């Protein structure tokens, strides 16, 4: 069961790279080979810094090669504590990917799905909501809504920020027009969520906007304030009748703890491939359950990280919905993966194959070599640098 090798597999996710974090043109997977002949796969959050990720995988591999691959929590702690200083998003993403590959190995070794190692599935399926690539990547919002509904989704999320300059009043008017367009196109029976991205750094502006958003009966408002100031989120949530969601930027257990203990959100959204991995998310979920907060994992990767989210759903009792930020007909993803990926009417059935339940085709991966990539800088209405 000794670890023989830990290597990256970098795959171009398609010809049209997106510029936001989580939408780099490359998917980064981690492959761990063991002395018993088993291979496990994990996925790394795509920060857009591919060369940095590859270098970090090599450095962490030096610590872990030769050790017992079944000691998942011990190996995780060796890297996490051994760094001395807190790992940043790149380091946590790599540690997450390694941890996920180790769990894949554990399930394959026992011939069981990973969730069965944690006590069995608590549900039979998890509801998905369509995210960024459906609406933000469409030629227009109407087309994006139609595409998501045609794929069977009953809920969807989009970026409501308009690409306009000028005054706050002009921005606000265009913002609300986008929300109105999506609601009128989707109809009243479809869930609609807004991905605000903490863009304005002003809780007061969001609180004022909430009154105008209430008639649209939103599923949730995501990141009305950034997670680096939890008190700002608390301020918005206390003033809101719309459910508040956040958590993808909580890459440390300390930030997650503050968010949960201050009850800053209604829905907690950990990014499994960035916050430490499977076991770390389960710890956060148990914490959230004590505060009656449900878990709605963030998703920004391939079918592999989507299916891992279903295992989280199966292993928790306070689960909400799972983000699906990949087109269901994605041609590269379908070449890469086969196995327990069953989606019916917007519902992902809990995987029943060993490990994560997916087979990875490395030959297919070689057909899509990594692309070079430079992140674009996002700007506010006045041209100043903006968060995304």
Give ranges for CATH 3.30.390.10 in the chain: 3-113
50-70 residues labelled b (16+ CB within 10 A) or e (exposed)? beebbebbeebbeebeeeebe
pLDDT digits (tens, 9 = 90+) for 225-251: 988 899 999 999 999 999 999 999 999
Among the four given CATH numbers 3.40.50.720, 3.30.390.10, 1.10.3720.10, 3.40.640.10, the one describing domain 3-113 = 3.30.390.10
Q: How far, in Å, are 2, 65, 93, 155, 367 from residue 34 at the CA level?
A: 5, 9, 22, 41, 25
C-beta separation of 345 from 149 below 8 A = no
Domain ranges in the chain with CATH number 3.20.20.120:
116-356
Global pTM value: 0.95
* E strands, 92-201, in order: 125-130, 155-158, 191-195
Distance between CA atoms of 235 and 195, rounded to whole angstroms? 18
pLDDT tens sequence across 109-160:
999 999 999 999 999 999 999 998 787 755 689 999 999 999 999 999 999 9
Q: CA-CA distance, 287 to 262, in Å (whole number)?
A: 12
Q: Which residue has the tokens 């990547």?
A: 137
What pLDDT, on the 0 to 100 scale, is given for residue 137?
59
Residue 328: Cβ-neighbour burial (10 angstroms; 0-12, 13-18, 19+): buried
What confidence score (pLDDT) does residue 14 get? 74
User: Could you tell me which of 52, 27, 15, 112 has the C-alpha nearest to residue 337?
Assistant: 27
Token readout for 106 is 């554990």
Collect the ranges in the chain with pLDDT lower than 50.
17-22
Give 373-383 pLDDT, tens digit per residue: 666 667 777 77
Q: Which CATH number fits domain 116-356: 3.20.20.120, 3.40.190.10, 3.10.450.50, 3.40.50.620?
A: 3.20.20.120
User: What is the Cα–Cα distance from 93 to 30, expressed in whole angstroms?
Assistant: 11
341 φ, ψ (degrees, to nearest 5): -115, 95
């Amino acid at each position: 069961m000794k670890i023989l090798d830990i290597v990256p597999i970098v795959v171009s996710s398609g010809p049209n790279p997106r510029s936001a974090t989580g939408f780099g043109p490359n998917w980064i997977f981690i492959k761990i080979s063991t002395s018993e002949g088993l291979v496990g796969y994990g996925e790394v959050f795509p920060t857009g810094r591919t060369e940095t990720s590859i270098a970090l995988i090599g450095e962490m591999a030096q610590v872990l090669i030769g050790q017992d691959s079944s000691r998942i929590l011990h190996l995780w702690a060796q890297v996490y504590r051994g760094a001395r200083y807190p790992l940043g998003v790149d380091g946590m993403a790599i540690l997450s990917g390694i941890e996920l590959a180790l769990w894949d190995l554990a399930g394959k070794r026992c011939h069981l799905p990973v969730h069965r190692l944690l006590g069995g599935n608590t549900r039979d399926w998890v509801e998905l909501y369509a995210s960024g690539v459906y609406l933000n990547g469409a030629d227009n919002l109407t087309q994006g809504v139609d595409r998501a509904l045609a794929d069977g989704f009953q809920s969807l999320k989009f970026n409501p920020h308009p690409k306009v300059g000028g005054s706050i009043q002009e921005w606000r008017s265009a913002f609300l027009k986008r929300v109105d367009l999506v609601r009128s196109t989707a109809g009243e029976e479809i869930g609609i969520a807004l991905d605000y991205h903490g863009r304005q750094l002003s809780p007061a502006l969001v609180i004022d906007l909430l009154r105008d958003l209430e008639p649209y009966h939103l599923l949730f408002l995501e990141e009305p304030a950034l997670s680096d100031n939890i008190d700002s989120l608390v301020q918005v949530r206390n003033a809101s009748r719309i459910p508040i969601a956040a958590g993808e930027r909580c890459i440390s257990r300390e930030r997650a703890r503050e968010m949960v203990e201050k009850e800053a959100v209604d829905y907690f959204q950990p990014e499994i491939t960035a916050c430490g991995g499977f076991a770390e998310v389960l710890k956060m979920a148990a914490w959230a359950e004590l505060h009656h907060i449900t878990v709605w994992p963030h998703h920004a990767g391939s079918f592999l990280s989507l299916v891992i989210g279903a295992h989280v759903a199966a292993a928790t009792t306070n689960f909400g919905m799972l983000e699906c930020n990949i087109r269901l007909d994605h041609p590269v993803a379908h070449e890469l993966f086969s196995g327990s990926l069953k989606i019916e009417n917007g519902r992902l059935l809990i995987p029943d194959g060993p490990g994560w339940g997916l087979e990875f085709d490395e030959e297919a991966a070689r057909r899509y070599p990594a692309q070079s990539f430079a992140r674009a800088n996002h700007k506010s209405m006045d041209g100043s640098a903006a968060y995304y």
